[in-house]
């Protein structure tokens, strides 16, 4: 009995013999998955951006194959546009000459040909040529726009998904300049516009043919390859022969641009990483430059401070220099005059005494006159006065010299201060420039890291699918206490108003996992060691609670506030959260604190007293 072959194997090609697929059963072959396209991308969130690009590439391949099938159906078999022109152009021009219509770039003119062909007495076109015209025109109406509408719709979906997933994660207005990101963003914008133009031209080329009497199709509406072909084939007045090729060429051009977009997006992450490494090196260099600029600025600031202090000191010391200098100079001139006169008097008296001695030697009497001794006494007195006056002159000259030196030093210090101010101004400009350059580089590094993280994180595609914000999960923990999440805002309100009751609040806050009373008291002691203001201590306590409590909620804080009966803060919290607090009344609310053993009440009072003394810094 002959063995019955598997029906799948009956239709197997000979080239499959020896391959693993030859022995597959029919059920296995039917379960082979088809390439996933845009439909699957819209149905469920993709795993990552690599899978997104793979789906869109599969979609582009399917659209390319669909275009090839449409071209084979339109032209027939392996024929092309050249065969179409060779087949129909000459018969159509023959009909145009017969009916005296020389432009078929409007559908109304084509209809007019068929009307005139129905008047055999006036116009006698060749029947076979007229049949060829009807055949090609009917084929065009069959294929455009209905046969391409699904393909164009798929292209528009592809563009939408490209805009959604293949993005730069870069904002030119808010982010610092990043070369690769800025260039990619500009390239995306260019590709987007070109793709939209291609799709729009593919949709409207047949509508232009169907336009009104005043508007007709011309070569400017065609894409460059088809326009060049039409001019070469001399069919510029029969453009409806090439509008199917033009529509297909526009769609194919759009698909090629989409492929380029995806390829650039695939390499974009590596380019951004390379930019980040280069920017890190630039950041280190600019950090050194900024440090040097700061050192120079602070050094000049200190020098200027010392120079101004010395100038102020000299100015205070020589405040009356101008007033004292002139009288001292006048006194100096007076003393110089007196000393000169005294020298002349001494010289005169010495000459007088010499003359008297000479006269006494020449005379017969050897005795000196009586007034000689008087002149000698006067001369001695004058010689005794001369050193005193010279010392006075030296003292005055020293004072003048000191005052002049002070004045010169003050003037020199003024010039030095001016120069230092000019140098400080230049250093400040250089510092500001260094700071700006460093901030630009730092921002560019942050942008590059963020983009690299967004492009390489596995959940980026899912976030784009659900329109979720980007950023690391730890960002919420880096927010300041005064802003960000609502619980941080509530903590800030409590810290500003709790004052010394923060210890009571900390004891009444829940901890998951349980922290224990002994550990809580240790936390309070540790926080109190800083001796800061109550506001800062309260912030530290709330931060510690958020760090150790894994389920931080606003309700926990509100419950603790109720336990310590701080309803004033509770009202502030409700006002901030826009929660009505009509039901919050101190006389109506019961003490929700845990039941206390009556024997422990005295000890609890002592603990509260100890907390107050420690907070006041007395212990």
Highest mean pLDDT among 13-27, 319-333, 394-408, 417-431: 417-431
Q: Apex CA 533: angle with CA 530 and CA 534, to 5°?
A: 105
Instruction: Give the whole-angstrom CA distance, residue 175 versus residue 89.
Output: 58
> Are 329 and 359 in contact, with CB atoms under 8 Å apart?
no
Instruction: Give the whole-angstrom CA distance, residue 90 versus residue 103.
Output: 14
The larger pLDDT score, comparing residue 491 to residue 326, is at 491
> Are 268 and 180 in contact, with CB atoms under 8 Å apart?
yes
Q: Which two tokens stand for residue 77?
A: 């078999």
The helix (H) or strand (E) run that includes residue 100 is none
- In degrees to the nearest 10, what's the CA dihedral of 87, 90, 95, 101? 120
Q: Hey, CA dihedral for 575, 579, 583, 588, is it positive or negative? A: negative
Kindly tell me if the per-residue pLDDT of 24 is higher than 60: no
Q: Hey, CA dihedral for 17, 23, 28, 33, is it positive or negative? A: negative
Kindly tell me if the per-residue pLDDT of 187 is higher than 90: yes
The helix (H) or strand (E) run that includes residue 232 is helix 224-233
370-456 helix and 321-362 helix, angle to the nearest 10 degrees? 150
Determine the length of the chain: 619
What is the pLDDT confidence band of residue 195, given thresholds at 50, 70 and 90?
very high
Share the mean pLDDT of the chain. Answer: 80
243-317 helix and 49-75 helix, angle to the nearest 10 degrees? 150
Mean pLDDT of 612-617: 65
Instruction: Give the whole-angstrom CA distance, residue 619 versus residue 375.
Output: 95
What is the pLDDT confidence band of residue 261, given thresholds at 50, 70 and 90?
very high
- The pLDDT score that the predictor gives to residue 377 is 83
Kindly tell me if the per-residue pLDDT of 146 is higher than 50: yes
179-209 helix and 243-317 helix, angle to the nearest 10 degrees? 150
Q: Apex CA 528: angle with CA 527 and CA 532, to 5°?
A: 100
- Interval 222-245: pLDDT, tens: 889 988 988 888 888 888 888 999
Mean pLDDT of 134-154: 89
Mean pLDDT of 531-558: 84
- Write down the pTM of the prediction: 0.59
SS3 labels along 492-511: HHHHHHCHHHHHHHHHHCCC
What is the pLDDT confidence band of residue 254, given thresholds at 50, 70 and 90?
very high
What Cα–Cα distance (Å) separates residue 92 from each residue in 36, 96, 337, 434?
45, 6, 132, 75
Contacts 24+ apart (CB under 8 A), 281-290: 282/441, 283/438, 283/441, 283/442, 283/445, 286/434, 286/437, 286/438, 286/441, 287/438, 289/434, 289/437, 289/438, 290/431, 290/434, 290/435, 290/437, 290/438
What Cα–Cα distance (Å) separates residue 502 from each residue in 224, 395, 510, 560?
77, 75, 14, 11
Mean pLDDT of 102-111: 84
DSSP 14: G
DSSP 590: -
> Are 208 and 217 in contact, with CB atoms under 8 Å apart?
yes
What is the pLDDT confidence band of residue 616, given thresholds at 50, 70 and 90?
low
Kindly tell me if the per-residue pLDDT of 289 is higher than 70: yes
Least confident residue range of 259-273, 280-294, 483-497, 535-549: 483-497
Q: Which two tokens stand for residue 284?
A: 């280190």
Distance of CA 210 to the CA centre of its chain: 51
- Interval 46-78: pLDDT, tens: 888 888 888 899 999 999 999 999 999 998 888
What is the pLDDT confidence band of residue 480, given thresholds at 50, 70 and 90?
very low
What is the pLDDT confidence band of residue 364, given thresholds at 50, 70 and 90?
low
- Interval 27-44: pLDDT, tens: 444 444 555 667 777 777
SS3 labels along 442-470: HHHHHHHHHHHHHHHCCCHHHHHHHCCCC
Kindly tell me if the per-residue pLDDT of 214 is higher than 70: no
Q: Which two tokens stand for residue 458?
A: 């596995």
- The pLDDT score that the predictor gives to residue 212 is 59
């Amino acid at each position: 009995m002959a063995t019955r072959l598997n029906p799948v194997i009956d239709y197997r090609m000979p080239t499959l013999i020896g391959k693993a697929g030859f022995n597959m059963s029919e059920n296995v072959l039917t379960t082979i998955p088809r390439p996933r396209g845009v439909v699957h991308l819209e149905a469920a969130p993709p795993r990552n951006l690599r899978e997104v690009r793979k789906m869109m590439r599969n979609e582009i391949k399917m659209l390319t194959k669909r275009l090839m099938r449409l071209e084979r159906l339109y032209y027939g078999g392996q024929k092309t546009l050249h065969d179409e022109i060779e087949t129909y152009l000459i018969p159509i021009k023959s009909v145009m000459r017969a009916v005296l219509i020389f432009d078929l770039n409007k559908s109304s003119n084509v209809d007019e040909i068929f009307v005139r062909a129905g008047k055999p007495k006036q116009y006698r076109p060749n029947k076979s040529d007229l049949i060829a015209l009807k055949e090609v025109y009917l084929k065009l109406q069959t294929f455009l726009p209905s046969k391409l509408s699904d393909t164009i719709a798929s292209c528009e979906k592809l563009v939408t998904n490209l805009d959604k997933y293949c993005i730069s994660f870069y904002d030119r207005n808010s982010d610092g300049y990043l070369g690769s990101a800025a260039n990619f963003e500009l390239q995306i914008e260019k590709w987007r516009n070109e793709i939209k133009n291609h799709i729009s031209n593919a949709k409207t080329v047949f509508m232009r043919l169907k336009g009104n009497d005043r508007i007709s199709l011309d070569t400017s509406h065609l894409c460059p390859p088809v326009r060049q072909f039409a001019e070469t084939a001399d069919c510029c007045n029969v453009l409806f022969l090439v509008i199917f090729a033009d529509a297909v060429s526009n769609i194919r051009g759009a698909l090629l641009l989409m492929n380029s977009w995806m390829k650039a997006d695939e390499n974009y992450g590596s380019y951004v990483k390379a930019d980040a490494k280069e920017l890190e090196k630039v950041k280190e260099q600019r950090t050194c430059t900024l440090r040097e600029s700061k050192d120079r600025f602070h050094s000049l600031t200190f020098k200027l401070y010392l120079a101004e202090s010395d100038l102020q000191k000299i100015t205070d010391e020589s405040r009356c220099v101008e007033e004292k200098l002139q009288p001292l100079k006048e006194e100096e001139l007076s003393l110089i005059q007196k000393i000169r006169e005294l020298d002349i008097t001494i010289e005169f008296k010495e000459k007088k005494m010499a003359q008297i001695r000479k006269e006494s030697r020449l005379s017969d009497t050897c005795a000196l006159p009586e007034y000689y001794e008087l002149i000698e006494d006067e001369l001695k007195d004058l010689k005794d006065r001369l050193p005193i006056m010279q010392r006075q002159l030296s003292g005055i000259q020293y004072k003048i010299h000191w005052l002049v030196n002070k004045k010169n030093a003050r003037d020199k210090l003024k010039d030095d201060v001016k120069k230092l101010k000019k140098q400080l101004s230049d250093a400040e400009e250089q510092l500001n420039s260094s700071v700006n350059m460093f901030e630009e580089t730092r921002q560019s590094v942050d942008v590059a890291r963020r983009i690299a993280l967004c492009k390489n994180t596995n959940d980026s595609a899912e976030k784009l699918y659900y329109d979720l914000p980007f950023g690391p999960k730890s960002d919420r923990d880096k927010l300041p206490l005064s802003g960000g999440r609502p619980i941080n805002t509530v903590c800030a309100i409590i810290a500003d108003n709790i004052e010394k009751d923060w210890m009571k609040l900390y004891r009444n806050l829940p901890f998951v996992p349980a922290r224990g009373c002994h550990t809580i008291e240790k936390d309070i002691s540790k926080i109190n060691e800083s001796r800061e203001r109550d506001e800062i201590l309260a912030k530290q306590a709330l931060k510690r609670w958020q760090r150790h409590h894994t389920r931080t909620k606003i309700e926990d804080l509100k419950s603790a506030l109720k336990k310590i009966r701080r309803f004033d803060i509770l009202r502030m919290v409700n006002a901030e959260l826009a929660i009505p607090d009509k039901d919050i009344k101190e006389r109506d609310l019961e003490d929700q604190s845990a039941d206390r053993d009556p024997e422990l009440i005295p000890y609890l009072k002592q603990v509260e007293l100890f907390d107050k003394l420690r907070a006041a810094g007395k212990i």
